[in-house]
Structures are given as C-alpha cells and as structure tokens.
DNA sequence: GCCCTTGGTGTTAGCGGTAACATCGAAACA
DNA sequence: TGTTTCGATGTTACCGCTAACACCAAGGGC
C-alpha cells in the first residue's frame, strides 16, 4: 500500500537534450541542426532565406533535411511569425456550383502564392456565417473572403475589429469605400432579363424563384422594375419559394404556375436548374418554347447551352470573381491597400433560343 | 552624425508585463487571466474543461473573455497539444461535382466534431498529389483523406511514415488490410452497364470515355469484360480521350464515333455529362434514342433523370462515401482503429429510358 | 595599422497555449 | 485533533519555429 499513486518523478530526467525527434516522431529543426552541425536558426535561414547562408552550409542542411525526412511545422512558424498563410473562405453551400466556381478561382489564384484557402459553409444564414467566422478566426487567417454583403451586425463588428483584410464577393458595395467587394449588379442582371422579355413583345411575364437569398431577391427586384417600367408588371405572376433550387423544383413550380395562370407567355427563372426543369416540363406537356412560352434562366451553368432549345440566360463571371477577389486580398495582405475598393465584373445576357 | 543606426536599445524596456494584448492586437489568454484575476492555466481550464473550475471563477473568466473579445488561438493550442483539429482532403478537381459531393459528405460529418477539412487539389496527377500532400503535411493534419488508390510510391512511403490515419475514397482496396478504403467497385459498375446493354439485345456496343483517370479506366475494363463475355466486344468501338469531360465533348465524340461507325446501336459514356452531350447530338440529328441508339451514362448527376428521354445511368454513392470516409477517419483519429478496413458502398444501375 | 563594414552564424527570448506536476485549504476520515 | 484526500488553482517548462540582436572573422578605406 502507499505507493499506488503514479509518481514518475524518478523516470530519468533525460539529459536536457532529447536524443532525436519530438513527441510526434517527426524530425524537428533542432534535429536537422544537430545533424548538419549548425544551429537551428541557421537551418531556418537555409530553408527560408537561402541567400543569407553560405553555399556549403546550405548543402549540408539540405542533405540532413532530406535524410531525416524533415517537414518544417507550419504551425510553429505561424505562431512565431503571426502569419498562418491561410485564407478563410465562407460560402453558403458546397453543392451549389456557383460558389464552387468562385472557390476554384480563389484556389487557383491563392495557391501559387503559398496561401491555403480554408473553406467554411454557412448554409445561407448570416447567423451560421457569424458562428463559422468566429471559429475560423481562431486559427488566425491572414485574409477572409465572404459571400455577399448580408452579414449580421455582430459579423460586421467582428470584421472591423480584426486587422485581417476582408473581401466580399458576388455583390457590389453600395458605397465603394466601405468594404472590398468583387461582383456584379444582381439587380441590373435581373433588370436586363426583364427588359429582354419585354422587348420580345411578351405581355404576361412571370417569375419563378427559389433559394431566396439576398442576391436572388435583388435579381427579382431588377426584373420587377423592368416590368414596372414597361407597365407590364402583375404581382400575381411571381412565384417565390424558399426551397433550394433544382431541376425537379423547376418542373413542379412551372406546373403550379401554369395551373394558376395559363395565360403567361414568358417566364424568368432565377436559376438555370429551375429553367431546365421548366424546359423539361414544357417538352413533356408539348408546350412550345419559345412559341407559346418564353423561358429565361440565370447563371449560364454547364448545360444551359445544351438544352433543347438552348436556354437564354445570364452568364455570370463566377470564376473571374474568385480570381479577382483573391488578387484584391493578396494586395491587401501585402499591404498594398490602394487598389479599387469595389470591382464590378459585369454579366452577359446570353440570348439563345428559348426567348 | 554617428547615431544614424537604429538603436532602440533604450526604448523603455517595458516592465516585463505588457500592458495588454499582443503583437496581433488580439487579446491573449494572459490578458483574460489578468482581467479575471486568475492564472492563464485557469483560463485555459475554464474554457476547455469547465468542470475542473469553480462556478465562480468560470463566470469571471467568461465575463473577462467576452469583455476583451478573446478568441483563443488554435495555432498555439495545436502546437502545444500536437492536435491541429484539421483534416487534409485531397481531390483531383474542384469543378467536378463528383468530388464535391464526396467533399460535402466529409464536411458535414467532420464539422460537428470540431474538425476542419482543408482541401487540396491534385489536378488528377499523382505527382501533384504528392507535392500537395507534402505541403499539407507541414501543417500537421490529424487525418488525411485521399481520392483513389493511385498514388506515387513516394506518396505511399510518406503515408506509411506518418502517425496520421489515412482514408482512401472512391475505390476499393485490393486487399482490405492495406489501407482504410471507402468506395465501390468501378469495375463492377462498368460491367453492369455492359451487361445491361447486352441484355437489351444490342450488338454493336461502343464506348466513349474522357478524363482517363484510373477509376474511369476500371469502369471501361468492366464494361469491356462484360462484352467479351457476351462475345460482342469490338475494340474499334472504343473511343477514349484524355480531355476532361463536358457536355460539348460528349456531342463531339458521338459525332466522331458515328462518322467512323454508323452501325453502332448502343453506347456507354463514362460520365453523365458526356451522355447528355450525346443525347443532345442525337436530338439535333434526329437519331432515335433508344430506338436506333441506346445510351448509358455514369454517376447519375443532377440532370440525368431530366433529360429527354431520361438517361439510364449508374447512381454512385458519392455523398455516402464522404460521410463514411469521415466516420472511419474519426474512429481512427480517436484510436478506435477496429472498424472495417474496406467499405463497399455499392452502386445502382438506374435503368431509365435511353436504353 | 586602426576602425568600420559586412556576411555568416549563434544566442536569447519569445509567439500563445497546455501537460504535468506542485501547492494549498477544506472536507473527510480515523 | 492529526492525517488523508481531494478539488481548485498556480508554476514551470516546454511545443517548434523565428525576430532581433550579438558576435566574430575577413575585407576595405584612410
């Protein structure tokens, strides 16, 4: 009895210098230093600023490094330098290809500069965005890229309180020096579609929208204004549901719309997948497109040019937005904070055969 | 003259205790400790193991924490605990929705456990994969999820040399205790399509494939064997190109195929986007599907059920693969290494109207 | 020959946390 | 009432790297 407590006190206190490697089993800079017969600092220099080290030592370090399979710990470096080489990217959803395209642009641009995008998914809600941002900030990103401008007040405060540069995408800042922004005018894009349908001589022009995030709403607003301007707006022809968009939903909503308003002769669907579903429904019901019903989509997703007939839609510069956002962020992270504050990348109305 | 060098030596050495916050401007644990009148360690405990701290102190710490806007540095914690709460996920491409679906499954599963997936893009080449893996390993992930089993020998060595658990997805390990694997048999899936076309009585069955990664090849192999078994294999009906798949490519390749072999009566397209392109081409050329030509795709991507006619294809459990891979990894990261080593999630032949 | 550069390298002191052990008062026990 | 036990808290020593400065020999200007 008596000695049951663990008392490792006498477990050979190890002569201060560990024999090799660390707790993780991986070689550390100190190991390489010993192996190369130099100090840790010299190893660090040999790796990060080779010009500061003699040819000969550089070679010895490289050799030892290779031999030990040394991988410098970014974590330790990040802690010591206060630069994580990491960029937080928050998007509403992973399965919406719109954001993936933006992400791809960001990734391609950041990667060559050694920055690692770290993705957070916000599920389209500002509250979740705030939560995710908070946890991500804990790992000290060097930059932040957010989707949209609809953040909670607390998020805005948070963003202002950190020294980290922030870029907002997919939308345009109302006043340009409030935030770094890269996108296009969702309102104008919706307006262009509305006007296009009007110009095609359509009189009963409807709207179908899903996934009612602020950007979708702005598109709808633009469309509405175009119709109002033409004196052809009928609020009852708007069908807006919160469900996330899909081909199936497009077909279903069109059916509903036609049941209530068989006289519509044109339709703006706020996303291409809805439009494809509508197109499918028309084919099944032998509704002539664009003869009896004109259809316009949004985003110019992959298959839009390959429907029958090819879909009129709005091409959005998703990839370019990602690239430009990353460039802006890179500039800001390097202290070059002078560039334009709000970049409008525009959009293109792709008039094809459904209108 | 003389004093031009910067010699801040006498810049008031600050009384050892900095007044507040650190170099980054953010509050540190020490700041909170001071504010709450306790030691840093107690703050750490109050945050990570509240039960180890008295109710009263916990409240004081929470208060101080809130007041100072304290965000604990994950970096420092990671360095101290040797756990980064990070998982490296390597996928061939961001723009291929197949991998995004897997990724989404991973993300959803890992997130609630506090793990942060960090994505690397390998561009479909094992060499780039090795490179990306190397750099990612530098930030000490707690786990790794890779796509496929085709890694460079050096990658395999690397994986073996680290203590970090690794899961491979989208494929099945030849022998189950070699690696943790979650996927389905690409070969069998291809075989099922081949047999299906044979069973439909087709005699001149062709193949169109793009993006020739190992998984695509295995599908093709399976398909080929099915035809060989039926005595209907004609190598000249295989059209395989390295280009990445797209709707446009599908249309183009079908045209080429028909030009060379107008007598084909069935076609397996190794990805749904190719199949959609082929379908489009058939519609344009008034080729009856499935009357004159049967078409089968692969993956059951979003629009497959909504083509005209609806596309026969193979539904692959992409999301489930992500979820299961994450579960396996979580188990391994927590030391529960006992689960099944190779998980076959199967596939489903979706017979629709194009065959 | 003296002093100042300069380039290469080492030393020290953290970055912001946490593991492990030490300490201490009060409750529990004998 | 002395001792044990235990819960709550503090101290110390790092994790692995790098900024900043110290040091030193060789070269250059006068």
Nearest to B168 by CA among B141, B143, B147: B147
Whether the CB-CB separation of A91 and A148 falls below 8 Å is answered with no
Bridge partner list, A106: none
Task: In whole angstroms, give the CA distance from residue B318 to residue B333.
Answer: 22
| DSSP per-residue letters across B210-224 | -S--HHHHHHHHHHH
Sign of the dihedral defined by the CA atoms of residues B186, B191, B196, B197, in that order: positive
Mutate to test the interface with A, among B101, B132, B302 (most CBs of A within 10 A): B302
Q: Compute CA distances B253 → B117, B207, B267, B276, B307, whole Å.
A: 37, 10, 11, 12, 19
Indicate the helix (H) or strand (E) that contains B117.
Answer: strand B116-121
Tokens of A347: 């959009």
Interchain proximity B302–A140, CB inside 8 Å = no
Please report the pLDDT score of residue A336 as a whole number: 78
* Residue whose entry in the numeric block shows the structure tokens 């602020």: A214
Task: In whole angstroms, give the CA distance from residue B305 to residue B327.
Answer: 30
Give the model confidence (pLDDT) of A104-120 as tens digits: 999 999 999 999 999 99
Indicate the helix (H) or strand (E) that contains B202.
Answer: none
Q: Where in chain B are the domains?
A: 22-72, 84-184+319-345, 186-315
Distance in Å, residue A43 CA to nucleotide C11 C1': 14
The average pLDDT across B123-137 equals 96
The average pLDDT across B294-317 equals 94
Q: In chain C, which nucleotides are within 7 Å of a protein Cβ?
A: 7-12, 14-22
The mean of the pLDDT values for chain B is: 91
Q: Compute CA distances A255 → A83, A95, A246, whole Å.
A: 54, 26, 14
Least confident stretch, A304-318, B14-28, B320-334: B14-28
How does B308-332 read in b/e, with b if 16+ C-beta sit within 10 Å?
bebbbbbbbbbbbbbbbbbbbbbbb
Mutate to test the interface with B, among A94, A130, A161 (most CBs of B within 10 A): A94
Task: In whole angstroms, give the CA distance from residue A60 to residue A38.
Answer: 9
Please report the pLDDT score of residue A177 as a whole number: 66
Please identify among residues 171-190 of chain A the ones whose CB lies closer than 8 Å to any CB of chain B.
none
Bridge partner list, A266: A205, A294
pLDDT band at A161; cut points 50, 70, 90: confident
Q: Is pLDDT of B200 > 50? A: yes
Bridge partner list, A348: A315
Please report the pLDDT score of residue A122 as a whole number: 97
Interchain proximity A74–B276, CB inside 8 Å = no
Q: Is pLDDT of B340 > 80? A: no
Tell me phi and psi for residue A268, to 5 degrees.
-105, 120
Distance in Å, residue A5 CA to nucleotide C29 C1': 19
Whether the CB-CB separation of A255 and A278 falls below 8 Å is answered with no
Q: How far is A322 from chain B (nearest CA, A)?
A: 13
The average pLDDT across A121-135 equals 96
Distance in Å, residue A39 CA to nucleotide C10 C1': 7
Name the residue facing A119 among B119, B273, B307 (closest C-beta). B119
CATH superfamily of B84-184+319-345: Response regulator (3.40.50.2300)
The mean of the pLDDT values for chain A is: 91
Is the CATH number 3.40.50.2300 carried by domain A84-184+319-347?
A: yes
Task: In whole angstroms, give the CA distance from residue B32 to residue B177.
Answer: 49
pLDDT band at A308; cut points 50, 70, 90: confident
Tokens of B207: 């193949």
CATH placement of domain B22-72? 1.10.260.40
- Tell whether A97 is within 8 A of chain B (Cβ): yes
Mutate to test the interface with B, among A306, A308, A319 (most CBs of B within 10 A): A306
B284: how many CB neighbours lie within 10 A of its CB?
A: 12
Please report the pLDDT score of residue B303 as a whole number: 83
Bridge partner list, A292: none
Q: Considering any atom of strand D, list protein residues whose CB lies within 7 Å.
A: A 16, 18, 22-24, 26, 28-30, 40-41, 44, 47-48, 70, 72-73, 76-77, 79-81; B 8-9, 37-42, 45, 51-54, 56-57, 76, 79-80, 82
Bridge partner list, B86: B116
Sheet with A238-240, edge to edge strand ranges: A238-240, A205-209, A266-269, A294-296
Q: How far is A71 from chain B (nearest CA, A)?
A: 6
Nearest 5°: the CA angle A101, A103, A104 is 65
Name the residue facing A140 among B75, B95, B307 (closest C-beta). B75
Distance in Å, residue B54 CA to nucleotide C25 C1': 14
Question: pLDDT exceeding 70 applies to what percent of chain A?
Answer: 92
Give the model confidence (pLDDT) of B93-117 as tens digits: 999 999 999 999 999 999 999 999 9
The average pLDDT across B247-275 equals 96
Tell me phi and psi for residue A2, to 5 degrees.
95, -45
Whether the CB-CB separation of B302 and A247 falls below 8 Å is answered with yes
Task: In whole angstroms, give the CA distance from residue A238 to residue A207.
Answer: 5
Please report the pLDDT score of residue B289 as a whole number: 93
* Residue whose entry in the numeric block shows the structure tokens 């460079």: B152
Whether the CB-CB separation of A101 and B96 falls below 8 Å is answered with no
pLDDT band at B336; cut points 50, 70, 90: confident
Please report the pLDDT score of residue A201 as a whole number: 96
Please identify among residues 241-280 of chain A the ones whose CB lies closer than 8 Å to any CB of chain B.
246-248, 251, 273, 276-277, 280
Please identify among residues 312-351 of chain A the ones whose CB lies closer than 8 Å to any CB of chain B.
none
A15/B255: higher pLDDT: B255
pLDDT band at A7; cut points 50, 70, 90: very low
Alpha-helical runs (H) found in A111-213: 126-137, 153-161, 186-199
When computed from its CA atoms, the radius of gyration of chain B, rounded to whole angstroms, is 28
Please report the pLDDT score of residue B302 as a whole number: 84
Please report the pLDDT score of residue A8 as a whole number: 33
pLDDT band at A173; cut points 50, 70, 90: confident
Q: Is pLDDT of B195 > 70? A: yes
- Residue B87 in 3-state DSSP? strand
Please report the pLDDT score of residue B14 as a whole number: 33
Distance in Å, residue A50 CA to nucleotide D26 C1': 21
Instruction: Please give the CATH architecture assigned to the domain spanning B186-315.
Output: 3-Layer(aba) Sandwich (3.40)
Nearest to B235 by CA among B250, B224, B222: B224
Task: In whole angstroms, give the CA distance from residue B297 to residue B278.
Answer: 10
Please report the pLDDT score of residue B341 as a whole number: 80
pLDDT band at A340; cut points 50, 70, 90: low
Nearest to B318 by CA among B353, B275, B272, B251: B272
Q: Is pLDDT of B12 > 50? A: no
Please identify among residues 131-170 of chain A the ones whose CB lies closer than 8 Å to any CB of chain B.
134, 136-140, 161-163
Give the model confidence (pLDDT) of B206-233 as tens digits: 999 999 999 999 999 999 999 999 999 9
Q: Is pLDDT of A12 > 80? A: no
Tokens of B45: 């405990």
Sign of the dihedral defined by the CA atoms of residues A22, A27, A31, A33, in that order: negative
Q: Is pLDDT of B10 > 50? A: no
Give the model confidence (pLDDT) of A230-278 as tens digits: 999 999 999 999 999 999 999 999 999 999 999 999 999 999 999 999 9
Please report the pLDDT score of residue A24 as a whole number: 74
Cis peptide before A290, with omega less than 30 degrees from 0?
yes
Residues across chain B: 355
Tokens of B200: 């439909």
Give the model confidence (pLDDT) of B158-180 as tens digits: 998 888 999 999 999 877 667 89
pLDDT band at B8; cut points 50, 70, 90: very low
Q: Is pLDDT of B327 > 50? A: yes
Q: Is pLDDT of A19 > 70? A: no
Nearest to B90 by CA among B29, B201, B166: B166
pLDDT band at A22; cut points 50, 70, 90: low
Report the interhelical angle of B55-68 vs B29-36 (nearest 10°). 120
Tell me phi and psi for residue A261, to 5 degrees.
-135, 75
Give the model confidence (pLDDT) of A74-100 as tens digits: 999 999 999 999 999 999 999 999 999
B34: how many CB neighbours lie within 10 A of its CB?
A: 18
Q: DSSP assignment, residue A292?
A: T
Please report the pLDDT score of residue B25 as a whole number: 76
Nearest to B219 by CA among B265, B184, B174, B264: B184
DSSP E strand stretches across B122-215: 143-147, 166-169, 180-183, 205-209
pLDDT band at A3; cut points 50, 70, 90: very low
Alpha-helical runs (H) found in A164-213: 186-199
Instruction: Please give the CATH architecture assigned to the domain spanning A21-72.
Output: Orthogonal Bundle (1.10)
Nucleotide nearest to A5 (CA to C1'): D5
Q: Which residue on chain A is closest to B93 by alpha carbon?
A: A104
Give the model confidence (pLDDT) of A41-69 as tens digits: 999 999 999 999 999 999 999 999 999 99
Tell me phi and psi for residue B338, to 5 degrees.
-90, -20
**Can B84-184+319-345 and B186-315 be said to share one CATH topology?**
yes
Please report the pLDDT score of residue A176 as a whole number: 60
Least confident stretch, A183-187, A334-338, B12-16, B326-330: B12-16
Nearest to B193 by CA among B82, B355, B301: B355
Whether the CB-CB separation of B345 and B184 falls below 8 Å is answered with yes
How does A192-227 read in b/e, with b if 16+ C-beta sit within 10 Å?
bbbbbbbebebeebbbbbbbbbebbbbbbebbbbbb
The average pLDDT across B60-84 equals 94
Task: In whole angstroms, give the CA distance from residue A274 to residue A280.
Answer: 10
Q: Compute CA distances B251 → B190, B269, B275, B343, whole Å.
A: 21, 11, 8, 36
């Amino acid at each position: 009895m008596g000695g049951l407590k663990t008392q490792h006190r006498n477990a050979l206190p190890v002569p201060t210098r560990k024999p090799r490697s660390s707790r993780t089993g991986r070689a550390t800079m100190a190991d390489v230093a010993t192996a190369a017969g130099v100090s840790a600092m010299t190893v660090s220099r040999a790796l990060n600023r080779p010009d500061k080290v003699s040819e000969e030592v550089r070679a010895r370090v490289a050799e030892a490094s290779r031999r030990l399979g040394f991988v410098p710990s970014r974590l330790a470096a990040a802690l010591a330098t206060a630069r994580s080489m990491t960029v937080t990217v928050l998007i509403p959803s992973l399965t919406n290809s719109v954001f993936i395209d933006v992400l791809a642009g960001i990734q391609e641009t950041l990667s060559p500069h050694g920055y690692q995008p770290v993705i957070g998914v916000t599920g389209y809600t500002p509250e979740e965005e705030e939560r995710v941002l908070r946890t991500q900030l804990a790992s000290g990103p060097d930059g932040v890229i957010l989707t949209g401008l609809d953040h909670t007040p607390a998020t805005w405060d948070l963003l202002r309180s950190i020294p980290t540069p922030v870029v907002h995408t997919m939308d345009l800042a109302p006043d340009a020096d409030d935030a770094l922004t890269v996108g296009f005018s969702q309102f104008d894009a919706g307006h262009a579609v509305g006007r296009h349908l009007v110009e095609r001589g359509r009189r009963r022009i409807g709207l179908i929208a899903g996934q009612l995030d602020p950007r979708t709403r702005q598109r709808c607003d633009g469309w509405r204004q175009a119709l109002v301007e033409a004196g052809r707006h009928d609020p009852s022809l708007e069908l807006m549901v919160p469900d996330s968009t899909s081909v199936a939903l497009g077909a279903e909503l069109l059916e509903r719309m036609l049941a209530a308003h068989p006289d519509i002769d044109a339709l703006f669907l706020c996303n291409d997948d809805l439009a494809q579903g509508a197109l499918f429904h028309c084919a099944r019901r032998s509704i002539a497109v664009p003869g009896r019903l004109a259809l316009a989509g949004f985003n110019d997703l992959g298959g839009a040019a390959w429907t029958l007939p090819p879909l009129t839609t709005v091409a959005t510069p998703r990839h370019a937005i990602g690239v430009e956002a990353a460039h802006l962020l890179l500039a800001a992270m390097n202290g070059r904070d002078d560039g334009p504050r709000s970049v409008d990348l525009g959009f293109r109305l792709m008039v094809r055969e459904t209108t």
